């Protein structure tokens, strides 16, 4: 019995240490209070577009930036450390990819229409009929015109970032759509086989 308890304790200890190490690695402070430079400026600009950083970017990671990061982390279920480790960077990258897609695909649409486009991306991630990550959904072959024609690489504006944020936090004006299209620009009539559930601006949203 004592041997069993010792073995069990040993296994739990190893698991705990492994978990602690992985957590520490995941939250390693890439950017933190006291550092400065271009990376901090870029972070501040992104947080500003998302509505978390409310002053002009300075390039210095002080208390204002820390508090902005904490608010972002809390909204996106990342431990509120106040520094940007790999988990925070990963979530920011996800927001960035969606914002780029929204800006490239729907920057002429209303805010509601842009949120709907962002929601379609996330609905595809959740669907078994599509890839299971934001990156793979966006870069699936011929999935998005903006990727094909290079508009994906344009710098997204604040509206695109806020639309991405809203969708990631649960907003879905599309009504659960996994497709959208502008009927004036359809080149593949297959899309007409999908049942339309909503129309927002120039886009039809379908399942």
Q: What digits encode the pLDDT tens for the residues 14-69?
A: 444 444 434 544 556 799 999 999 999 999 999 999 999 999 999 999 999 999 99
Contact 200, 173 (CB under 8 A): yes
Count up the domains in the chain and report the number. 2
Which of 84, 104, 131 is the last residue before a domain boundary? 84
Which are the contacts of 135, defined by CB distance < 8 A and separation ≥ 6?
97
What are the φ/ψ torsions at residue 47 (nearest 5 degrees)?
-65, -30
Rounded to two decimals, what is the model's pTM?
0.85
Mean pLDDT of the chain: 89
Residue 4 falls inside a structural domain: no
Query: Is a pLDDT exceeding 70 seen at residue 124?
Result: yes
Whether 61 and 103 map to the same domain: the answer is no
Helix or strand or coil: residue 131? coil
């Amino acid at each position: 019995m004592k041997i069993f308890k010792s073995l069990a304790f040993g296994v739990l200890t190893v698991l705990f240490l492994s978990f602690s190490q992985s957590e520490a690695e995941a939250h390693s402070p890439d950017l933190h209070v006291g550092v400065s430079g271009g990376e901090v400026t870029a972070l501040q600009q992104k947080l500003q577009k998302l509505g978390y950083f409310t002053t002009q970017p300075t390039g210095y990671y002080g208390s204002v930036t820390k508090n902005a990061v904490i608010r972002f982390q809390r909204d996106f279920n990342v431990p509120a450390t106040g520094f940007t480790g790999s988990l925070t960077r990963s979530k920011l990258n996800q927001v960035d990819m969606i914002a780029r897609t929204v800006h490239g695909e729907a920057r002429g649409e209303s805010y509601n229409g842009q949120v709907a486009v962002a929601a379609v991306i996330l609905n595809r991630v959740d669907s078994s009929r599509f890839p299971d990550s934001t990156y793979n959904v966006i870069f699936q072959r011929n999935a998005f015109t903006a990727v094909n024609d290079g508009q994906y690489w344009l710098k997204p504006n604040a509206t695109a970032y806020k639309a991405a944020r809203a969708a990631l936090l649960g907003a879905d004006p599309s009504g659960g759509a996994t497709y959208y299209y502008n009927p004036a620009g359809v080149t593949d009539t297959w899309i007409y086989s999908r049942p339309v559930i909503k129309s927002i601006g120039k886009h039809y949203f379908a399942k």
